[in-house]
Structure 1
Amino acid sequence: MRIWGLSVIVAMLFVSLAGAGFYIGTLQKEGEVAKLQQKVLQLHKMLAVVEESAKQRETPVIVATPVNEQINKPKLDADRDGIARAFEWTDDKGTGYTYSEEQLTVLQQDSQNRDYKQVLRRFAEQELQKDIDSFQTIGSTLNPRRLLVVTTDNSLYEISMKKRSTHDQIWTVEGSNTLSGIEKPNETELYHLLKLDDADEEVQAWAKDLLETPEWKNEWMRKDGKTYVLIKSSSSESDSIELESVRVWGEELYVDYQALSYGDGADPAVINDYVLIEVPVKGAGDATFRKTVFVVE
């Protein structure tokens, strides 16, 4: 019995040592990941400085980021990312389409229906009575697939499609929506990052009052035809703000940002206590803030 008990104790010690080694290894990996994340954030900040400098030396060119599936060069000079978001923001989600089993059986007899581009063109011609000028996939999934479509008369459509694996991999149009009456939206990402000392006295006084508060804040004000936006972190030295995007749609201002909370001992170089921007756009609309992600490092 004594030998058996001793064996159990030894086995438990080995398990404990193995667990401790795994825990220490995990902590080491987490530390390495945190260091890498800090370096990535530093690179992002350096890149932002370079991009801002380049913008000041040349006329800004707005480039859309989704995967391009273009037929011809689009006529619209608007930011396609912003247009895609406008479809997400609208309360009117357009028209939905349903199919009976008999309809799907007929559709799967045509091999062209396995090519979503062919299905999209046919839908535009037959249902919308339009010719497609350009289109591109938006969103993060390919099935179902969302597409931003521009027709030759400069109309904008959001088309949703689905591949049906139970019907010979054919594609069907599941929904369509349009932004009525909009040919050249006022969509831009032009703004200026400001240091507190670079702002005029009125903006400085407004910003300083907000910076003295201990909690997270996002506020805006207008002065002399410009909009000023301040986003600040909490009073914790480990909290940080990263600006993601600034957009103007009509007279509405939309600001996306990331809230980051680092652990003790974080590199001060990666901490942004606040972001102050100047948007040279006249308008009487509101500013809408969206926190896209909250990360605890």
Structure 2
Amino acid sequence: MKLPTSCLVFLFLLGCETVDRFNSMNVNSAIDRDKLVDQYSMIHDFNSGEEFEIEKLIELQDESDRKDYKKVLGNFFAQYLQKEIESFQTINKSGHDRHILVITKDRWLYRVDIKQWLDYGNIWTVDMYGGFLLTQ
């Protein structure tokens, strides 16, 4: 089926409509990620994360989920903290450590430090975490 030229021109012009998306965005409802990073950097009170004896680290080498830091992070929040993650972002990574900003669905902001164990099959464990309830 061949469309008439006038129909094609109309569709082309419709697709070229200009919209000032930035000015139409409601800045008040946007997530201020800069503020989140600032709040993240103010967390200085930490709890110990997962603490395992050497025997347990050897056992954990066989768990495939332990080789994926994202799964370790999700499982830690679900099982240990009994919270559901809304979003997360790695803020810093160096060597075999990651520092992750986590926001939970109940509006808590966490700083989570996780560690990769090279001597134990490159598994990941939560080293420490700290957080607080977000305010508006």
Q: Same fold (TM over 0.5)?
A: yes
Cα distance in structure 2, aligned partners of 1:142 and 1:78? 29
Q: Within 5 Å, give how 1:4-23 maps onto structure 2.
A: none
CA deviation vs aligned residue, 1:119-155 (integer Å, no higher than 9, x gap): 1110000111001110000125262101000111111
Q: Provide the secondary structure at the position in 2 that maps to 1:175.
A: strand
User: Deviation string for 1:35-66 (max 9, x for gaps)?
Assistant: xxxxxxxxxxxxxxxxxxxxxx957959xxxx
Counterpart contact for 1:147–1:160, Cα < 8 Å: yes
CA contact (8 A) 2:100 2:112 kept: yes
Over 4 Å off, 4+ runs: 57-62
Deviations 1:53-100 (A, max 9, x none): xxxx957959xxxxxxxxxxxx9823332122222xx4x2x1123221
User: Any idea what the Cα deviations from partners look like across 1:220-274, whole Å, max 9, x if unmatched?
Assistant: xxxxxxxxxxxxxxxxxxxxxxxxxxxxxxxxxxxxxxxxxxxxxxxxxxxxxxx
Superposed CA RMSD in Å reads: 2.6
Instruction: Give the aligned length.
Output: 111
Give the corresponding residue for 2:112: 159
Contact persistence 2:40–2:109 (CA under 8 A)? no
- Residues 149, 158 of structure 1: 8 Å contact kept: yes
| Paired residue type of 2:73 | L
Q: 2:58 maps to what in 1?
A: 105
Residue among 111, 115, 118 paired with 2:68: 115
1:132-211 correspondence runs (5 A): 132-141=85-94, 143-179=96-132, 181-184=133-136
| Partner Cα distance (2:90, 2:126) in 1 | 14
TM-score for both structures, normalised by structure 2: 0.71
CA distance change for structure 1 residues 137 and 61 in 2, over 3 Å: closer, same or farther?
farther
Change (3 A) 1:104 1:156: same
* In 1, Cα distance between equivalents of 2:59 and 2:85: 25
Structure 2: segments with no counterpart, 5+ residues? 1-21
Give the counterpart letter for 1:125 in structure 2: A
* Structure 2 residue 21 is matched with structure 1 residue 78: no
Runs of 5+ consecutive residues of structure 1 not aligned to the other structure: 1-56, 63-74, 185-297
Which has the higher relative contact order, 1 or 2, with Cα contacts under 8 A spaced 6 or more apart? 2
| Alpha carbons of structure 1 residues 135 and 115: separation in structure 2 relative to 1, 3 Å | same
Larger Rg: 1
